[in-house]
Chain A
Amino acid sequence: GESVGLHLPTLSVQEGDNSIINCAYSNSASDYFIWYKQESGKGPQFIIDIRSNMDKRQGQRVTVLLNKTVKHLSLQIAATQPGDSAVYFCAEKETGRRALTFGSGTRLQVQP
């Protein structure tokens, strides 16, 4: 079933290109950040996380960058594939809390 709305910002890229998805957060007390991928009808899937004492972390084909000065988080996907098409959410966690606060999401469309 549908898990995302009709008015999400959309990033459209060609297969093989690199994708950059951005996220702004507002809570200066956030100490932990996660990127999730959500495909239609499924729950969010963990991609990569980063703690506030870091500014960059790399995974397989993905890199997360954290700029605490301007409260900005980005997800870079290298060599984007059709299977990467989904809605991507950033999430932040405030120090001392367990709950995650999610952004509104960005839809990534990969054109073959």
Chain B
Amino acid sequence: GAGVSQSPSNKVTEKGKDVELRCDPISGHTALYWYRQSLGQGLEFLIYFQGNSAPDKSGLPSDRFSAERTGGSVSTLTIQRTQQEDSAVYLCASSPRQEMNTEAFFGQGTRLTVV
């Protein structure tokens, strides 16, 4: 696609429910990242994929958070038993190359609200 696509754009869920957030990276991009942006704060790194593997998942805040990537393309971030503090904008980004120092292109994010 022309850019990184995320769905849904907005999600309201009840506390305790599970949610899945989807990211379609730019076609051919091998690296994929998930970040979280809470109100009043910068972006917080969650997890990084190179192909289908996740060499860095150090930012996942708890074992309620998990992510997978299939076919080296689409990624899904799953949050189980959502809590109100999970409310944030979840941003996905992808990079075209394997080299370390390269920019990442971001999607518009999924705004998650846990009520």
Contacts and interface: CB of A to CB of B under 8 A. Distances in A.
Given A4-B40, A99-B45, 9 more contacts: A2-B39, A3-B109, A6-B39, A41-B108, A95-B100, A98-B95, A99-B48, A102-B35, A102-B43
The 3 A-B pairs at the shortest CB distance, nearest first, are namely: A5-B40, A43-B106, A102-B42
A26 B45 CA distance: 17
Contacts of B43: 44, 89, 91, 100, 102
A2 B89 CA distance: 9
Interface stretch (A11-19, A45-53, A55-63, A73-81): A45-53
Given A43-B109, A98-B56, A99-B45, A34 B103 contact: yes
B105 interface: yes
Interface of B: 4, 10, 31, 33, 35, 37, 39-45, 48, 50, 55-56, 58-59, 89, 91, 93, 95, 100-101, 103-109, 111
A96 interface: yes
Contacts, number: 77
Interface string A1-42: 111111110000000000000000000000110101000011
Interface residues of A, number: 34
A49 B103 contact: yes
A46 B105 contact: yes
B89 A3 contact: yes
A98 B48 contact: yes
Interface in A75-112: 89, 91, 93, 95-105
Interface of A: 1-8, 31-32, 34, 36, 41-46, 49, 51, 89, 91, 93, 95-105
B4 A43 contact: yes
Contacts of B91: 43-44
Nearest to B55: A98
Contacts of B40: 4-8, 104
A98 B103 contact: no
A93 B42 contact: no
Nearest to B9: A1
